[in-house]
Amino acid sequence: MDTVLPPKLRRGDLIRVIAPSLSRQLIPDEVRSIADRRLAELGLRLSFGDHVDEADAFTSSSVASRVADLHAAFADPEVAGILTVIGGYNANQLLPRLDWELIGAHPKVLCGYSDITALQAGVLARTGMVTYSGPHWSSFGMLRHLEDTLRWFADCLFGDGPLELAPAATWTDDKWYLDQEAREPRPNQGWWGLGEGEASGRIVGGNLSTLSLLHGTPFMPDLGGAVLFVEDDFESRPEQFDRVLTALLQQPGAERVAGLLIGRFQVATGMTRELLELIVGSKPELRGLPVVANLDFGHTSPQITFPVGGEVEVAAGGTGESVRITRH
């Protein structure tokens, strides 16, 4: 299946915000207003799906409502891109109900992360279209320490040139949406080179636990030749991350994986460089491959935007690590 790149965003474009996981009801008013202002400063106009505020016992909406909003966003010729409200736990419920011909016939930017990985993987597997792991609409409601996230979002979704990634100077892991002022950025240790080698290939991945929900389904992308980007949230203790990574590396095609990039872990996971070295070292599938960890993607901030289905070049070894996204 050929890879399809959606058109880049331009100033003046209309963005549709949808809630394929949790409802917009969860988002505080202050965060909403800041997010809307930030996106307007990028030159983007906003519209919202009809069902973004519906909330059931799981603070989500019905499968039918969420499918309808996603289909409407892709079908509307005025909509240039789609942002998700926030993550959650149930986006995979939508996959059997989606009209893949409709989605594939209207390529456009789709950006979000965490539970949205299920949709991104499904879109890639069923249509070949590139989507983007990056901030939700609600992520733009962060008042402070958003500069790197904004720059990386714009570089990936408005620009065409190669993206040379580099570690952020500082990072945060806090409930910023509860207190926008009481925040203390941490100095960044930089990237962790855990395996030496060079590779190039198609990016597959996102949230590791969400991706594991797709094993054995027609919504799991081909892993052959892929450079995996994986991350997980505070619920993923080291032993949990270890077993889910093992499961991914046991999937068909994983014997031809070209490299592995791992996003920064939240403090609550208890993950350390030493533990992650043990986990990576225990995987014979990763021997001889470049493995780089502690990158700026996942559930901490700042957060790069990267193309799921795009192309990347990775090198790790004695002279350091480099990551260059060449097609996005």
Which residues are tagged catalytic?
114, 231, 299
Is the previous residue joined to 302 through a cis bond, with omega within 30 degrees of 0?
yes
Distance separating alpha carbons of residues 216 and 218, to the nearest angstrom: 7
Letter for the amino acid at 104? G
Please report where in the chains the tokens 């070209």 appear, as a residue.
258
Q: State how far Cα 3 lies from the chain centre.
A: 18
Check: CB of residue 124 under 8 Å from CB of residue 96: no
- List Cα–Cα distances, 137 to 16, 24, 89, 110, 260, in angstroms: 10, 10, 17, 11, 28
The answer to whether 109 touches 161, Cβ cutoff 8 Å, is: no
Closest to 73 (Cα-Cα) out of 65, 84, 82: 82
Q: How far apart (Å, rounded) are the C-alpha atoms in residues 327 and 203? A: 10
DSSP state for residue 26 in the 8-state scheme: G
